[in-house]
Amino acid sequence: MATAKFKIKKGDEVIILTGKDKGKKGEIIRMIPAKSRAVVQGVNMVKRHTRQTQTEEGGIISKEASIHVSNLALIDPKSDKATKAGYKIEKDGTKVRISKASGEAI
């Protein structure tokens, strides 16, 4: 099975559309294209019980869990609201991602 191609990438600022963290904003830390999921900083926090190791302290640790890509939307740089992404070819031949709402480069 081929992995899907997404218009959002690691390092993008996104907004959560649905779920317990609806309306929160954060940066994508990691993409998991095989499962169509992304890990967003400070969103979908879960408690993890970990055993102590030589390098790390044990206990209950809060960390980010992955969230499905369909629940994320890029943030428009102009209006600071959710937007879809599109592509535009510049005059010098470079391909740039743009916001569908305002036409600004992302």
pLDDT tens sequence across 13-45: 999 999 999 999 999 999 999 999 999 999 999
* Mean pLDDT for the stretch of residues 91-97: 92
> Which of these CATH numbers, 2.30.30.30, 3.40.50.300, 2.40.30.10, 2.40.170.20, describes 1-75?
2.30.30.30
- The rounded distance, in Å, linking the Cα atoms of 26 and 80 is 12
Residue type for 77, please? P
Q: Where are the domains of the chain?
A: 1-75, 78-106
How is residue 101 written in tokens? 């709402």
Confidence of residue 4 (pLDDT cuts 50, 70, 90): confident
* Residue closest to 39 by CA, chosen among 55, 57, 21: 21
Query: What pLDDT score was predicted for residue 1?
Result: 54
Phi, psi angle pair for 21, to nearest 5°? -105, 25
β pairing state of 82-83 and 25-32: unpaired
**Strand 59-64, strand 66-68: pairing:** unpaired
